[in-house]
Structure 1
Amino acid sequence: MPQQAWSDKRERQYEDIKKSERERGRSESRAEEIAARTVNKTRAQHGETKGSSKSSRSRGSSQRSGQQAQGGGKTRDQLYDEARRRNIDGRSKMNKQELANALGRS
């Protein structure tokens, strides 16, 4: 067991993730690292750690990366295609945020 604080459930999760990563061709050490990071992140999100912050438990990954603020998670190309369908002038010179604004998404 890599961590004394892990429950049996988290230990099984660690072993399953490590096995999956090995099957995907990762080295033993990389598979162990990925598995440990995943289990620790899950523990923090579920409030199982002393140092888990409220924000790490309450916000989803799309909110943390700022995708909500820029077009609701769509890529620049998706926004561009929608702007083309709506025939918005100047769309080819716009960045993602400008496209989102022109489409009324921001």
Structure 2
Amino acid sequence: MPRGSKDAYTDKQKRQARHIEEGYREKGLSEDEAERRAWATVNKQDGGGKKSGSGRKRTTR
């Protein structure tokens, strides 16, 4: 998978990133910076791209 590909993300994560990006755009950030920050936020919340399926290791808190 090439660097920057968003294929590993779920539809929910992609929707979250779009919504976060819109918020940054409303604050006056450039399109590139808003997109970068939106994906960084999604990664921080969810730990990066995920694939669904049983047997996925759960993180302990």
Q: Which runs of 5+ in 2 are unaligned?
A: 52-58
Deviation sequence 1:68-103 (CA, Å, 0-9, x none):
xxxxxxxxxxxxxxxxxxxxxxxxxxxxxxxxxxxx
Partner of 1:24: 27
Q: Aligned residues: percent identity?
A: 37
Q: Which runs of 5+ in 1 are unaligned?
A: 59-106
Query: Whole-Å Cα distance in 2 between the matches of residues 44 and 19 of structure 1?
Result: 21
Partner of 2:54: none
Matched, 1:35 2:38: yes
What's the secondary structure of 1:3's corresponding residue?
coil
The number of residue pairs the alignment matches comes to 49
Higher alpha-carbon Rg = 1
Please identify runs of 4+ aligned residues in structure 1 that moved more than 3 A. Answer: none
